[in-house]
Amino acid sequence: MTDIKKERGFATNTIHKGSYKDGFGSLGLPIYQTSTFIFDNAEQGGRRFALEEGGYIYSRLGNPTNNALEEKLAALEGAEAAVSTSSGMGAITSSIWPFIKAGDHILACKTLYGCTFAFLNEIKKFNVDVDFIDMTDINELKKSVKDNTRIIYLETPANPTLDIIDIKAVANLAKQNSSDTLVIVDNTFATPYLQNPLKLGADIVVHSATKYLNGHGDVVAGFSAGSKELMTQVRFVGQKDFTGSVLSAHDAFLIFRGMKTLEVRMKKHVENAKKIVEALKGNKNIEKIYYPGLSDFKNHDIAKKQMKDFGAMIAFEVKGGIESGRIVMNNVKLCSLAVSLGDCETLIEHPASMTHSTYTEEELKEAGIAPGLIRLSVGLEDSEDIIEDLLQALDKIK
C-alpha cells in the first residue's frame, strides 16, 4: 500500500485546506451567518474571553466560516495562523498598530499602494517616525535602519512600478538590527502561488484578498499571516481594538470558493502577461515597459530567485505623458478602465491620478511613478484579444 505523501501540492492545498464539519456532510463551506455564539455555561464563557480555551464568542473575534478560510491562506503561505479582514487596508493597519508606539521608527519602501502610503504618513501624527527609502538597493536600507526601527514594510513586486526587493536580504538585516524589528511584506501582486515571504524570513505577510485570492471582483477583503503569537496580536489588538475590520462570513465563503482555482487562474494570468509584454516591446508610442520578467529590469535576478514566476501585473510609460495615457485609456474597448487588479477581466488605470493620487507631484517623482505611467492588470481573456485592444488604443496617440 502506498502512503500519501505528507506535503501535498499547491493546487491540492487550495482546494482541500481549511477544515470544517457541519454535521451534515456538506461538501461546500457552510456560511455561519451569526453575530454571536452560545456558551455551555458561564465558566466556559469566562475561559474563552480569557483565551484559556478555544472556541467562538462573537463573530468580530472569530467565525467558523472565516476560520476555514484563514486555515487555507495560512497553509498556502506557510504560516502558523492567519487573520481575515474586511479589506486589504484593514489587514495592513491591523498588522502595524499592535507593534508600534510613540518614539518608534518605521522604514517603508518608497513605492507603495497609495492608501498604504497615506496611512504611514498619518501615523506620523502619533510621534512615530516614518522614512520612505529605495529598498531595491539593500545598501540604502543598511544606512537607514535605526536602533528604534520596529517595522520594515515593503511591497514586492511594488505597486505600480513592479519594483523587486530582496526579501531574504531585508529579513536578515532586520534580525541583525533587533529581534524586535518586524518585516512585513505585502504579497498581493505575487500571491502565495508565486512567492512566500515568510519562507524567506519575513515575519508577517499581508494581502488584499480583493485581488487574485478572490479573483472575481465581487469581494473586498484582506489577510494577515504569520506566527500564532503575532497573529494573536493582530486579531485581538490590531483588529479588535484598533480597526474593527472584520470580514463577513458570506464574503469569507466567496473567497474560500475563489481560492480553489488560484493556481489555474495564476498560470493563465502569467501566460497572458508574458505574451502582452512581448507584443508591446518596441512599440513606437511606449517609452518604457515595467515587468520583472524582462532581463534588463532592475533586480530581475532577485525576482527569478524568490518568485516562481514574474506575475501578471504590467506597467508601461507612454510617450507624451498624461495626455497620451488618457488617449490609451479612453480608447480601449475590451480592457476595463477601473482600479483594483487580479480579476478575470483585464483592468487598466492611471496610477498618478487614481490609485496613487495621495502622492504629491514631488512624491510621485521620488517613487518613480511617471505622469504617463499606465498600470495593466492582465485578465483571463484570450491574449490575442487583449493585445489587439491595447495596440489599437496605442495607435490613437498622434
Residues classed as catalytic:
60, 113, 186, 211
Please work out, in degrees rounded to the nearest 5, the angle formed at the alpha carbon of residue 356 by the alpha carbons of 284 and 189. Answer: 80
Widest distance between CA atoms in the chain = 75
93 contacts 238 by C-beta, under 8 angstroms: yes
Please enumerate, as own/partner, the contacts of 116-120 that have beta carbons within 8 Å and a separation of 24 or more: 116/89, 116/92, 116/153, 116/155, 116/186, 117/356, 117/358, 117/359, 117/363, 118/358, 119/89, 119/92, 119/93, 120/153
Q: Whole-angstrom Cα distance, residue 188 to residue 166?
A: 16
Q: Whole-angstrom Cα distance, residue 120 to residue 180?
A: 19
CB within 8 Å of 95: residues ≥ 6 apart? 184, 204, 206, 224, 234, 238
How, if at all, do strands 182-186 and 149-155 pair? Answer: parallel
Please work out, in degrees rounded to the nearest 5, the angle formed at the alpha carbon of residue 250 by the alpha carbons of 241 and 61. Answer: 25
- Cell numbers for 385, please give them: 484579444
CB within 8 Å of 140: residues ≥ 6 apart? 133, 134
- Cell numbers for 297, please give them: 529590469
Helix axes 64-77, 249-259, angle to 10 degrees: 40
DSSP string, 170-212: HHHHHHHH-TT-EEEEE-TTTHHHH--GGGGT-SEEEEETTTT
CB within 8 Å of 281: residues ≥ 6 apart? 289
